[in-house]
Chain A
Amino acid sequence: EDQVTQSPEALRLQEGESSSLNCSYTVSGLRGLFWYRQDPGKGPEFLFTLYSAGEEKEKERLKATLTKKESFLHITAPKPEDSATYLCAVQINTDKLIFGTGTRLQVFP
């Protein structure tokens, strides 16, 4: 069965304290892996797409990496405005798009 698992469920960081979020997946026929940010009461906002193992993408304080079994979202020196839920999604060959349960990140000043 295709499955996407994110950890931890929740993460509290002090401003400037770097950390990583994990997304592990077990799917047949990976087409792409996506990271999204979601603020309360809103639709998810696209961050990154990764297509093959070894690929990395960066944007401001965020960096996403991909292996054959998992992806990491590294947050360097986070700020309070980075507080949100971060969602990982995997698209498989049939166009099915499967989301993980998300990591709720809180960054305190």
Chain B
Amino acid sequence: DGGITQSPKYLFRKEGQNVTLSCEQNLNHDAMYWYRQDPGQGLRLIYYSQIVNDFQKGDIAEGYSVSREKKESFPLTVTSAQKNPTAFYLCASTLMGGEAFFGQGTRLTVV
């Protein structure tokens, strides 16, 4: 079945540590996105990528980094510069002009 897989489902980060969230899709979609969702809030765009080896900052890119070396993969690294990383992270992909398909999310907690 085609879809988007995010891993892990739960992730714990210590202070000062970098962590990487995985996002893989087998839908042959060109564009991929990362969003952050805080409790009771909407989705805020962190980064998005329209093609391999290219990506654009969203509204809250500070403290995050991404790469797009393969069409299927768009990992997100939460760096130590992100002071408040505890949130629910969602990855999505789309064909041009089409609806976004979402993964099931990664819940990141700072311990």
Residues on A facing B (Cβ under 8 Å): 6, 31-32, 34, 41-46, 49, 51, 87, 89, 91, 94-102, 104
Contacts and interface: CB of A to CB of B under 8 A. Distances in A.
8 shortest interchain CB distances as A-B pairs: A43-B102, A101-B42, A99-B43, A46-B99, A102-B42, A95-B50, A95-B31, A99-B42
Interface in B40-58: 40-45, 48, 50, 56, 58
A61 to B, nearest CB: 20
A46 B101 contact: yes
Interface of B: 31, 33, 35, 40-45, 48, 50, 56, 58, 88, 90, 92, 94, 96-105, 107
> Dominant SS at the A interface?
strand
Nearest to A10: B40
B57 to A, nearest CB: 10
A3 to B, nearest CB: 10
B45 A101 contact: no
Contacts of B101: 46
Given A6-B42, A43-B104, A97 B98 contact: no
Contacts of A98: 45
Contact of B35 (A6, A31, A41, A99): A99
A40 to B, nearest CB: 10
21 contacts: A6-B42, A31-B97, A32-B97, A34-B99, A34-B100, A43-B90, A44-B43, A44-B90, A44-B100, A45-B102, A87-B42, A95-B31, A95-B48, A95-B50, A95-B94, A96-B58, A97-B100, A99-B42, A99-B45, A102-B41, A104-B40
